[in-house]
A and B are shown apart, each in its own frame.
Chain A
Amino acid sequence: MKKFILRGAILILLILLTDFLIGQIFGMMFNKVRSGSVYNTTYGIRDCKDQILIMGDSEVKHGLVSNLFSDSLGMSCYNLGLDGNNVFFQYGMLREIVNRYTPEIIIISKSIALEAESSVTSLFPFYDDFLYVKETILEIAPAEKYKLISKAYMYNSLLLKIVPGIFRSDPETGGYSPLFSGQNRMNYNLVPDTVYFKGKSTTRSRGYYDKFIRLAVSAGSRVIVITAPRFSYVKYAETDEFNEIVQNDDVIYLEYENDPTFTGHADYFYDEFHLNHKGAVVLTNRIIYDIKHKIPGLDDFPID
């Protein structure tokens, strides 16, 4: 029995030691990442000072071309969009951003608040070093305080994002990630004439979306809420509560869903949910045109 307890204690010690070592190794690798979503997120939370920030999920990550914004508007632009992410994550990142500086313009997609699980796992690696990220995580998921003691847990599912990111450098598209039809990474068949019902927001996701907008506005940024186009028609199973939050006087609201330029045009889409590069260029130019008319001071620049 004594032997058993002794062995058990040794095993536990070894586990703690291994966890610590993994934390050190992953931490080192993390800092060497030069491309990919891990790099984008780190850049957003730790480094960025760009004047225009694009935030949201894969719709904007693959749909808004940063370099076009910077060329047309004469302001630096970075696309901080992240695949499969949500308003809770974006809020945590924004808190760190405005603590550091005030972006002139923040473009945020509407859909990140829909069907959003309160999952902030993408923020975990920043828990130890970034106070506002830590606060956000603990606000949303207090139990994580205990789980994040384990460094291996902190870096869960990041191995395959970190390693390639170390060896490949940033393609210098300012965070924008173009999709080219026929790449076959995802093979969705576009099914014409369908109608998609978009999901519902939750009280929590609406709450955080509201907090996001208020934080950005009070920091002094111009907030632009956009809805990116999809191949199919879109209908909302949504109440007015959410629309009140996104369509108020503090924000500029630009809607491109169900826009005839895009809906049903297969050559602009990579799959049902995402534009390809050709479509992204078209969308970006539309947005630039629209915001030039709506933001004073921007119309000094020639309209393309």
Chain B
Amino acid sequence: MTFTSFNFLIFFPLTVLACYLTPVKKRWITLLLASYFFYISIQPVYALLTAGITISTYIFTRWMEITISEKGKKRLMVANIVIILTPLFFFKYFGAVNNGLMSWLAGTGLTWPLPEISLILPVGISFYTFMAIGYTVDVYNEEVKTEWNPGILALFISFFPLVLSGPIERSGNMLPQFRNMGRIEYTNLTSGLKMMVWGYFMKLVVADRLGLYVDVVYNNIANHNGTSLLFASLLHPIQVYGDFGGYSLIALGTAKILGFNVMANFNRPFFSVSVAEFWRRWHISLIKWLTDYIYTPLAFSMRRKGMTGIVIALLITFLLSGIWHEANWTFIIWGLMQGIFLSFEAITNRKRISVESRYRLNKKPYYILFNIVLTYILFTSSLIFGRAENVNDALLIYQKIFTAPGPLYIEKSTLIYSFIGVSILFIKDFKDEYFPGKLEFFNNRNTVIRFASYIVVIFIILLTGVLNGSQFIYFQF
């Protein structure tokens, strides 16, 4: 089951009820059982993997606690990280590396001993692996206390709102909340439900509907002209925002109803005026993780090298981000593009700031708009690689965009529904960005307006959402 499957709509209320009926001190047991039930209902065997990573992490962190020498602690940390990363590498990258070596060797006439491999990825492995690694490093750095209750640690790693697709949370935020659960509050219930409803809107009404157009064009690149490919490419970031942003919001709402505060994963990213700002608003939990555990240590170790050190750290960090998404050259290029954009911004930062302050550009609407559009275009251009099956397809799309214009492919009803959904989403985000607190709907003080907005959104979802089951993009990560 996933958040958008019917079974979830039965599982979740039952879980909430079960938690409500369980005494606070024992509630972690209910949640742990629910989380494993959730995971097992998707891929039973791989629940063992989650359990295995939990056990390993528990043992090594407890061991670190009683180890005195700095070197010893470090070795234990590294050992656990290697153990945690091994299944990730095996399931996600081994096949790609194996098949890549096989085809490279085939070109030289030699044979590769292993057969072609394609493995089914354990769901959520990229997410909960990172959470476990983060905890291990935090224990080493003495940022968090070692968790003595293996059940609570297991809950942290398998927590069902987060396990499939994040946000990638931190032990420092979650463990204290798991240790000190409060009553099920009705204020949490309402704010959590509001988040879930809006999340479903973003995913089912905006993302999945846009997907119907984008997929048709991208799955038939040879048959479509450059104009249609360009249009589909421009729509694609909005689709991902609705999909992943919506799903994250549902995760947040689910956790909130259960009484937990989880970090936001998206913050109206398309209003960013620079790529740097974009990456503070898009997939926030991943970037925070990469910044804290990869970028900062790297940049710190190279701090004497000035801007060169920063650029290298940026490129490596975002290269890893690309690889994290998928074992495919397309994502490596995607990641490198982010690194390059960010490096360019970092290098030119001083110059830009002085020009901006001299002409007071930062307050001028047209300058802001220009930067917003530029940032969007840069991200769109990188996402062409993210969406294409392989590098050749991506290059073909680029080539067609510039050399093969033509009449736009129009699928009337899909585009009309999409336009309605995207407009509503955009207007809400625009209002929240520039006029926060004004003209609220879900949070209006007037009950009639609030109820009316809930009803309108719910029925927009029921009447125009794509309800017959489409897969969430980030699902098999």
Residues of the B chain whose Cβ atoms lie less than 8 Å from the Cβ of A121: 468
- The residue in chain A whose Cβ has the minimal distance to the Cβ of B451 is A11
Whether the pair A184, B464 counts as a contact (CB closer than 8 A) is no
When the two chains form the complex, which single residue of A4, A11, A18, A185 contacts B459, counting CB atoms closer than 8 Å? A18
Whether the pair A186, B463 counts as a contact (CB closer than 8 A) is no
Whether the pair A143, B6 counts as a contact (CB closer than 8 A) is yes
Interface 1/0 per residue, B280-319 and A, CB below 8 Å? 0000000000000000000000000000000000000000
Q: How far is the CA of A50 from the CA of B281 in the complex (A)?
A: 60
Residues from 113 to 155 in A contacting B, C-beta threshold 8 Å: 119, 121, 143, 146-147, 150, 152-153, 155
CB distance from B257 to the nearest CB of A (A): 13
Whether the pair A152, B459 counts as a contact (CB closer than 8 A) is yes
Q: How far is the CA of A186 from the CA of B414 in the complex (A)?
A: 13
Residues of the A chain whose Cβ atoms lie less than 8 Å from the Cβ of B468: 119, 121
When the two chains form the complex, which single residue of A159, A160, A186, A272 contacts B409, counting CB atoms closer than 8 Å? A186
Q: How far is the CA of A160 from the CA of B418 in the complex (A)?
A: 12
- Sorting the interface of chain B by its residue count into under 10, 10 to 19, 20 to 34 or 35 or more gives 20 to 34
Q: How far is the CA of A159 from the CA of B186 in the complex (A)?
A: 36
Residues from 398 to 417 in B contacting A, C-beta threshold 8 Å: 406-413, 416-417
Assuming A153-B462, A156-B463, A157-B466, is B454 touching A188 (CB within 8 A)?
A: no
Residues of the B chain whose Cβ atoms lie less than 8 Å from the Cβ of A9: none
Residues of the B chain whose Cβ atoms lie less than 8 Å from the Cβ of A190: 223
Residues of the A chain whose Cβ atoms lie less than 8 Å from the Cβ of B467: 153, 156-157
Whether the pair B186, A152 counts as a contact (CB closer than 8 A) is no
- The residue in chain B whose Cβ has the minimal distance to the Cβ of A160 is B413
Residues of the A chain whose Cβ atoms lie less than 8 Å from the Cβ of B451: 10-11, 14
Residues of the B chain whose Cβ atoms lie less than 8 Å from the Cβ of A150: 462
Residues from 461 to 477 in B contacting A, C-beta threshold 8 Å: 462-468
Q: Does chain B have a CB within 8 A of A28?
A: no
Interface 1/0 per residue, B111-146 and A, CB below 8 Å? 000000000000000000000000000000000000
CB distance from B130 to the nearest CB of A (A): 34
Whether the pair A22, B220 counts as a contact (CB closer than 8 A) is no
When the two chains form the complex, which single residue of B6, B408, B464 contacts A147, counting CB atoms closer than 8 Å? B6
Q: Does chain A have a CB within 8 A of B455?
A: yes
Whether the pair A1, B186 counts as a contact (CB closer than 8 A) is yes
Residues from 430 to 472 in B contacting A, C-beta threshold 8 Å: 447, 451, 454-455, 458-459, 462-468
- The residue in chain A whose Cβ has the minimal distance to the Cβ of B186 is A4
Whether the pair B458, A15 counts as a contact (CB closer than 8 A) is yes
CB distance from B441 to the nearest CB of A (A): 15
- The residue in chain A whose Cβ has the minimal distance to the Cβ of B410 is A185
Residues of the A chain whose Cβ atoms lie less than 8 Å from the Cβ of B463: 22, 152, 155-157, 159
Residues of the A chain whose Cβ atoms lie less than 8 Å from the Cβ of B459: 18-19, 22, 152
Assuming A156-B465, A159-B464, is B225 touching A189 (CB within 8 A)?
A: yes
Residues from 228 to 274 in A contacting B, C-beta threshold 8 Å: 271-272
Whether the pair B455, A15 counts as a contact (CB closer than 8 A) is yes
Residues from 155 to 199 in B contacting A, C-beta threshold 8 Å: 186, 190
The 4 tightest CB contacts between A and B, nearest first, are A152-B462, A160-B413, A188-B223, A184-B407
Would you list 17 pairs from A and B whose C-beta atoms are within 8 A, ordered by A residue? A19-B459, A19-B462, A119-B468, A121-B468, A143-B6, A150-B462, A152-B463, A157-B413, A160-B416, A161-B413, A185-B412, A187-B225, A187-B406, A187-B408, A188-B220, A188-B223, A189-B224
> Given contacts A19-B462, A185-B412, could you give 9 more A-B pairs where the C-beta distance is less than 8 Å?
A19-B459, A22-B459, A152-B459, A157-B464, A159-B464, A160-B417, A185-B411, A188-B409, A271-B223
